[in-house]
Amino acid sequence: MTRIILVYGSTMGNTEILAGSVVEGLESGNVEVTVRNVTEVEPEELTNYDMVILGCSTWGEGELQDDFIEFYDRMEEISLKGKKSAVFGPGDSEIYPDSFCKAVDILEEILIKCEAKIIVESLKVDGEVEPAFGDAEAWGLKITKLL
């Protein structure tokens, strides 16, 4: 069975809640997933899984959520060659149109630099996350079909 880890960073709780919907989709596709807050995992642990899913909101003018910054900086030290990956996160195109979900793009770039393969288009949620629960669950299920 494919081993998946989903790592999220959440300040206001939106990314954590969104992660729950992604997990529901993954589990409906009969996949087991380990869910960890970015504050509770070391980048090296990602190498123990077949797939890495990262969830992070965008802050300010396109920055990573605070808890993700150190984790991101340390990701450059690992190789994820042969690992599958995907990224999701909330943002707000109305307030920050030029940096909408930039954190998602930043995390995709580091995954590629670590030689992971992005297997699905990122999930970028605009504004309130509650209306996107169904989309997040469908995105998780779609991942299972691409494994």
What is the C-alpha to C-alpha distance for residues 103 and 87, in angstroms, rounded to an integer? Answer: 9
Q: Where are the domains of the chain?
A: 4-145
Give 85's contacts (C-beta < 8 A, 6+ positions apart): 51, 52, 53, 54, 111, 116, 117, 118, 119
Which pLDDT does position 80 carry in this prediction? 98
Q: Tens of pLDDT along 60-105? A: 889 999 999 999 999 999 999 999 999 999 999 999 999 999 999 9
Which pLDDT does position 72 carry in this prediction? 98
Which pLDDT does position 1 carry in this prediction? 86
Mean pLDDT of the 18-31 span: 97
CATH of domain 4-145: 3.40.50.360
How large is the angle between the packed helices 66-75 and 102-113, nearest 10 degrees?
A: 20
This prediction has a pTM of 0.97
Which pLDDT does position 40 carry in this prediction? 97
Tell me the three-class secondary structure of 89-116, residue by residue. EEECCCCCHHHCCHHHHHHHHHHHHCCC
Mean pLDDT of the 35-54 span: 98
Which pLDDT does position 60 carry in this prediction? 85
